[in-house]
Structure 1
């Protein structure tokens, strides 16, 4: 022991004295005869680092996955879906205008929706058709900015369709090709209903980055959609007297006008989590027609609940890595205490207290946990920030699809680091590392100097 360290023994009652730091630091430095213990300490530190990094990366990816899904889902589907009741939804423009005046509503859109069979040279598949006009499409930034081929110019007069790039690949069509739509609810004949078959040119191909929307959604102007799904009714023009039953077709066309209908309206609010308050405001507005409101949490309750359960389970399972590393700290410290039994006895005979011995070995074990936690923190943040680049590199190198979009719904691997969760992971690792040092340090403090030196 150095001369400058000896006076510190008289200060053994002071927490973390210079003497204790010197001894703990010396035990952490590798020497030839302590090489085995040093290797175990290094492996333990590596285990802590891997556990912390893994937790940060996995939680960041799951946060990004949830946030990206939420952004995509709520980018096209509103926070509320308003379905009219009691009568046909012919006053959809007035209803949407009234909805947008409610405090907290960002905007609202109306649409016509139906299920059809889409057919192309490649194959046929079921799709969801949505009819929307250009004014409403411009409100959906996610869709409006996702066009990779074609554009939305003159959309209302185009009588064409917009499809996702995955749907275009499946049908074997490209920009300008014809897509055949088959509606089973077609014309009524004396022999029953016949399917309605019409062809439309592809004017826009979009890429939303979400498999479900890029594979199963097809958009068309609202006028052709109303005509295709028969979402209209013929009413007498204002001031027009009822016609004679024997009136000609020309007289009927001149006396009646076609009034279009919408299927429902989507309502987008400023705060997606403020569902309860906004539901009350929308239902309390007496200026609007009766509607059934369905919010995004109800529509996706099972899906997002499953994601939440998965996050909790993954956090619990991966925390076991840190717990195993903490047990390694215990084993390495027990071996260190056994190896340094003679040193402990000498320190005790020179005046070191049991508390001082306990603090020395606590600092030794905690230092392993602190260094491992810091290394894991830096490594985890770097990997989480470059998750998609690393996924693409590994996937291209091995030739294996990692996180295939057909399974995970998204085309890229998102990552969103939550500072609160990172803090929890770091505190968990530091806490377990400290707790792991208590028993070995206590055992070291119980050594009897006489017994330890008897056979030296």
Structure 2
């Protein structure tokens, strides 16, 4: 071990009469560690939220949406075949998209409106992961379910087919799989009694529930077959929306532009130009807000690390003041200015390295615990177990009379490790996956995604900041002359 390293290590482990310096050093390490752990945790949560939300959206949404200025496509099959020839397009599917009133069978009360998508299951599967999120049957024309539900209706009533409701739509309306619901597509005033309406009512049986994890779909959507949706509007063989899946979600804008340039509808003029939209445009405000939030958060967390760096600088300055006599002795014995500088720089670097290691381990551990779904012990159960153990360890560790020798050393280190185990168990019990309000954040729980390059960058950055914090104290220590340092000794 070199001279500078030996002295720097001894200074960090001060004697009891200088224990204040040791405490400040520990606080400096803790400051750097907490700063790094907080940055890793917060950025991982923001990354996880963005990644999970994007994955959920792209599993439920198409990449490009094509509409006609006329409202409906008279021959969507021909248009889809043309769209599939556009570079970057994987598949396309027709949809009838509408908003209808929902009424459970047997009640006269309309329970609000839902968005209804009329889809062809086979073509929908080529664009989204529809069946993956269906609890129950994904067959909207299941003959057995429809026949069983038909028996619940009077002879004058018929079923249009099956419907898949968002999981929260069903729970809020008190509807279960197998129940019959009504969709009201049109309401016209009754000329004989203006306070009443004639309603165009269609009966559907609930064949499944849609559980996407996205508030938009789970709370406001229902799915019926494309043919039954066409019957609702007397639009046989038509659709009012074509969904397109691109080879990559990120090229949606360029694919939409190609569709506008290459596809022309009959009619000429503006009517021949397709209206296109993309998932990126629809959710631009959301992702821009998340990006801005991440930038602001990283700035705030960087300030935390800067505060920890100032703490390192103040620690080293106090240590220089405390060790003035030692510096004078070392200079008198022949230590050079560079060696004195290295001693205090090494102390700051060591604090930075220890803080980085502990902070990274703590941040990654918290990220792992937030992603861990297994059942934790209850808080009270954990407290009942931990208190007696902690009390016993405290009594043994802080007993007045301590035996000397190797046996005591082993016992002391064993008890210290036991304290770390207890602390780890407490953190394990307390840190759990966090549930959030899906009506506000779309997702029902926080997801965590660790960005490993960012972890490396934040460690390197914090090390550079900590190193910079050592420069002035180290320079100050090297400028002390032996005569000045020993003048009052």
Partner SS for 1:119: strand
- Per the alignment, residue 246 of structure 1 pairs with none
- Per the alignment, residue 383 of structure 1 pairs with 366
Distance (Å, rounded) in 2 between the aligned partners of 1:19 and 1:380:
34
Matched, 1:53 2:30: no
Matched, 1:262 2:249: no
Distance (Å, rounded) in 1 between the aligned partners of 2:70 and 2:97:
19
TM-score (norm 2): 0.77
Matched, 1:90 2:94: no
- Per the alignment, residue 129 of structure 2 pairs with 142
Partner SS for 1:273: helix
**Cα displacement (A) at 1:171:** 0.7
Tell me if structure 2 keeps the 8 A contact 1:48–1:373: yes
**Cα displacement (A) at 1:390:** 7.5
Matched, 1:162 2:146: no
TM-score (norm 1): 0.83
Deviations 1:167-219 (A, max 9, x none): 11111111111222223x34687679743233311101121111221111110
CA pair 72-378 structure 1, distance change in 2 beyond 3 A: same
Greater shift after overlay, 77-86 or 38-47?
77-86
Matched, 1:337 2:316: no
Deviations 1:241-276 (A, max 9, x none): xxxxxxxxxxxxxxxxxx331111111112212244
- Per the alignment, residue 73 of structure 1 pairs with 57
Matched, 1:326 2:326: no
**Cα displacement (A) at 1:283:** 2.9
Q: Give the gaps of 5 or more residues in structure 2.
A: 147-160, 266-271, 380-428
Matched, 1:412 2:445: yes
Greater shift after overlay, 123-132 or 107-116?
123-132
- Per the alignment, residue 203 of structure 2 pairs with 199
Aligned length: 412
- Per the alignment, residue 178 of structure 2 pairs with 176
Matched, 1:290 2:273: yes
**Cα displacement (A) at 1:356:** 1.9
CA pair 277-324 structure 1, distance change in 2 beyond 3 A: same
Partner SS for 1:220: strand
Tell me if structure 1 keeps the 8 A contact 2:60–2:129: yes
**Cα displacement (A) at 1:76:** 2.0
Deviations 1:361-400 (A, max 9, x none): 1110111111111111122122223324389859988999
Distance (Å, rounded) in 2 between the aligned partners of 1:405 and 1:109:
29
Distance (Å, rounded) in 2 between the aligned partners of 1:148 and 1:160:
14
CA pair 393-125 structure 1, distance change in 2 beyond 3 A: farther
Matched, 1:102 2:135: no
Tell me if structure 2 keeps the 8 A contact 1:395–1:401: no
**Cα displacement (A) at 1:45:** 0.8
Matched, 1:41 2:25: yes
Tell me if structure 1 keeps the 8 A contact 2:72–2:241: no
Distance (Å, rounded) in 1 between the aligned partners of 2:56 and 2:369:
21
Deviations 1:272-331 (A, max 9, x none): 122443234323325766311112221111111111111111111122221221111112
Tell me if structure 1 keeps the 8 A contact 2:312–2:348: yes
CA pair 30-123 structure 1, distance change in 2 beyond 3 A: farther
1:432 to 465, 476, 489: 465
Matched, 1:366 2:349: yes
Distance (Å, rounded) in 2 between the aligned partners of 1:74 and 1:155:
28
- Per the alignment, residue 97 of structure 2 pairs with 113
Tell me if structure 1 keeps the 8 A contact 2:141–2:162: no
**Cα displacement (A) at 1:423:** 2.3
Tell me if structure 1 keeps the 8 A contact 2:433–2:445: no
Deviations 1:77-121 (A, max 9, x none): 211111123574021122223222322212212100111222347
- Root-mean-square deviation (Å): 2.8
**Cα displacement (A) at 1:67:** 1.3
Tell me if structure 1 keeps the 8 A contact 2:41–2:363: yes
